[in-house]
A and B are shown apart, each in its own frame.
Chain A
Amino acid sequence: MDNSGTVLMPGGVRDLLSGEARQKRELENNLLKLFQLWGYQEVVTPTFEYYDVLAPALGDLLPDQLYRFIDDRGQITVLRPDMTTPIARLVSARLIDKEFPQRLCYAANVFRRESHTGRQREYYQAGVELLGAEGPDADAEVISLAAESMKLGGVREFQITVGHVDVLAGVLQGAGFSTREYEQAEIALSKKDLVTWERLVADSHLSPERKQAFASLPYMHGGVEVLNQLAGLIQDEPARKGLASLCRVWEILSDYGFRDQVKIDLTLLRGLGYYTGLVFECYVNGVGYPVCGGGRYDELLAKFGYPCPATGFALTIDRVLEALDNQFPSFTDQIPDYFITGDDMGDVAGKAKELRENGFIVEVDITERPREDAIAYASRKGIPHILVMEK
């Protein structure tokens, strides 16, 4: 690598300078405090784990999206690409004797290789996992907590879109697609490729009215009225159950006061292949990617030998900061309340200790510069109180 004067960094990672780092830390602390208020307990898992252990549970993340390396024993290890999988591993391996439901939370960085150089590859996330609880009440708790997290982050306007894997499957089954068409339809909807979707519906054997209803599926986007429209499109039992649970979730969210923020859109399909029921994403105007996402993953823990229903979400701290940056431009450095210089370091330190104990931010002059230079420095920095302790 030719450095020739510049210090290089790999693509997709970045430094956080003091203002931004402080904002990130505060956000993480506040989120963890919020999660605790809802009864969630923080856990920490290792940054890297065995590839063979995590790989079967990583859904549709491709091996080349992972940072893999060989450890000193020749084992393939992987930097965690998300927190849900390591927590599923942790619960199955170590927490099955505890009473369920278990509520766990985290704030951690995750790593994904992206094909575009320059695209972000290290993300900070905070999230929760609710393990051992099935049913809409658990789903609603997790979505409400996600909404509270957005509010707490200071994001003024956000929207949560909710979908359901089983309801969508029921709708697609009702269209009488062949296996191949079914797969194409699923891919088209997940990519929001409505051109392909409309062509598949047009080529199907549905009656003209049914065709029209199916073609409008991607446009069924809104409140509880969408659930009524969907009822006409499904026949099978899991889908009916899914629809009923969506209704119930909608009611609970309304009780929590989030009726206006929540929209139903069945074509919401989250990338990771492990989702099994209700799924959701949060969006903020002006941020081009979802800020937060999650859902139910009832089959994931079974991959670690302990079948157990579960749901959760992860909020991407970097994107919340981006949303806040759009609202209040520019991060500022923290300015100390006091600057203390003096003839005797003992006096200075004593005064500083006293002020700090009272909660003030105190910067002590530790340089050998002339006094006027020290004072000029503190004024340039905008420190409101400058103390000079003379003998």
Chain B
Amino acid sequence: MKEDMITFALPKGRLLPLVTGILRDAGLFRVDMEKDGRKLIYQDEENNARYLICRAADVPTFVEYGAADLGVAGKDVILEQGKDICELADLGFGKCKFVVAVPAAKLELYRGGLSGYLAQHGQLRVATKFPRVAESYLRSRGLPGEVIKLSGNIELAPLVGLAEVIIDLVSTGRTLRENNLVAIDEITEATARLVANRVSYRVKYDRLYSFIEAIKNSR
């Protein structure tokens, strides 16, 4: 292993083809995935780099600990995990947003927003897969509320009385509509980001900079 090799953590799943596309356009990722598509590590001798295929939610972890120098992670994952990593560029794709949603049938109760609701009702429970995002949203608005962490199918919670509202990530909004939920507030938008380890960013600056420039230009 050469000293200045770059290790790049890539998220598997829907973002992967988009990311490898950008990398290929930038002259990087000289790798034949077709040949052996199930490997977890791909070597790219030409660029003195290697690529790790990780779960999307694990990319920040690989990068924070320095097991990877660079990575691509969704802003949603970065916000939720609060990891100590550098966020270098917005890649623009993988767009989705965090929204606060309530059952359409109860929309009337939320005319005055969540604080309006709380003025009339005793409790506010928020079901979400993203407790950190939810807590910081509630805190920043001074809303007392209980955050209930679920692992999926968040839409169920308000339908069966587990929570009054949900905070979830939506891309098209179809799932909300199918479950008769309406967004009443948008927290923030999230797209794929190029991230780097804090130490690599400084120690391997010259090599990383050429990667970053190539990626920004091919975006």
- Chain A interface (Cβ within 8 Å of chain B)? 157, 159, 161, 191-196, 219, 221-222, 263, 265, 281, 283-290
Contact = CB atoms under 8 A, between A and B. Distances in A.
Interface in B45-61: none
B211 interface: no
A72 to B, nearest CB: 36
21 contacts: A159-B202, A161-B202, A191-B84, A191-B86, A191-B87, A192-B86, A192-B88, A192-B201, A193-B86, A194-B89, A195-B87, A195-B88, A221-B205, A283-B199, A284-B203, A285-B3, A285-B203, A285-B204, A288-B64, A288-B67, A289-B199
A288 B200 CA distance: 7
Contacts of A288: 64-67, 197-199
Nearest to B91: A195
Interface in B122-139: none
Contacts of B203: 159, 283-285
Contacts of B84: 191
A263 B3 CA distance: 19
A194 B199 CA distance: 16
Contacts of A157: 3
A221 B201 CA distance: 10
Complex A-B, nearest 7 residue pairs according to Cβ-Cβ distance, in ascending order: A288-B66, A192-B86, A283-B199, A193-B87, A288-B65, A195-B90, A283-B203
Contacts of A286: 66
Which bracket fits the contact residues of B?
Answer: 20 to 34
Contacts of B66: 286-289
Given A192-B201, A194-B87, A286-B66, 10 more contacts: A192-B87, A192-B88, A192-B196, A283-B199, A285-B3, A285-B204, A287-B66, A288-B199, A289-B66, A290-B198
B93 interface: no
B74 to A, nearest CB: 13
A16 to B, nearest CB: 21
A192 B198 contact: yes
A287 to B, nearest CB: 7
Nearest to B88: A194
Interface of B: 3, 64-67, 84-90, 193, 196-199, 201-205, 209
A116 B67 CA distance: 18
A161 B199 CA distance: 10
A138 B88 CA distance: 34
A159 B201 CA distance: 11
Contacts of A281: 202
Indicate the member of A161, A284, A288 with the most B CB atoms within 10 Å.
A288
A36 B193 CA distance: 47
A159 B199 CA distance: 10
A319 to B, nearest CB: 10
A222 B203 CA distance: 11
Contacts of A195: 87-90, 193
Contacts of B198: 192, 288-290
A287 B65 CA distance: 8
B64 A194 contact: no
Contacts of B87: 191-196
A192 B64 CA distance: 13
B138 to A, nearest CB: 18
B45 to A, nearest CB: 20
A24 to B, nearest CB: 21
A287 B199 CA distance: 8
Nearest to B213: A219
A115 to B, nearest CB: 8
A221 B64 contact: no
Nearest to B82: A115
A161 B196 CA distance: 16
Contacts of A219: 209
Contact of B202 (A191, A193, A194, A263): A263
Contacts of A265: 202
B65 to A, nearest CB: 5
A292 B84 CA distance: 17
A78 B81 CA distance: 28
A136 B67 CA distance: 36
Contacts of B88: 192, 194-195
Contacts of B197: 288
A350 B62 CA distance: 57
Nearest to A268: B202
Contacts of B90: 195
A166 B201 CA distance: 23
B86 A194 contact: yes
A308 to B, nearest CB: 31
A287 B196 CA distance: 14
